[in-house]
Amino acid sequence: MIDAYGAARSFGLRPTGPMDFDPFPEDVLDSSAGKPTPSDREFLSMVNRWTELTIAMNQVTRSMGEPDFHPFGLSRPAIRKLHFIHRVIHATTSPELARSDASQHIGQSGAFDNFDDQFLFKQVVGTRARLA
């Protein structure tokens, strides 16, 4: 998603017309670490810009009689999971975030809303360690 959005931006693709889209608010973010950080807000901004881009691209492909470029919308639970992964990756790669309370909270016992989050955290950190 980040790479595709970056590629679109590098070619100057920026939706500017009116859209039937309500940007996702901050309450959609994973709240297990507390108050949203600037990194969290940037993540949410990117998700909202990505959603705008996919709406525009879907309209373009439909106008040519083709299937949707991005055939599904992001749900609140999906954004929460993507945000969780974003936080884990940044906590394991960014010295500034690694020292922050939010990223330390990610790895603490009991910091997960459910078993899936804990499992996902272990998988992401394990993969990052193997790639390092």
Long-range contacts of 109-113 (CB under 8 A, 24+ apart): 111/32, 111/33, 112/32, 113/30, 113/32
- Give the range of the structural domain holding residue 2, as residue numbers without chain letter: 1-10+35-72
Render each residue's pLDDT in the chain as its tens digit; 132 residues: 888 888 888 998 888 878 888 899 999 998 776 788 888 999 999 999 999 999 989 999 999 999 998 888 899 999 999 998 888 887 776 555 444 444 444 444 444 454 455 555 555 555 555 555
80 plus 132 within the same structural domain:
yes
Please return the burial class of 107, using the count of CB atoms within 10 Å of its CB with bins 0-12, 13-18 and 19+: middle
> What does the block give as tokens for 91?
């906590």
In a domain, residue 21? The reply is no
Q: How many domains does the chain have?
A: 2
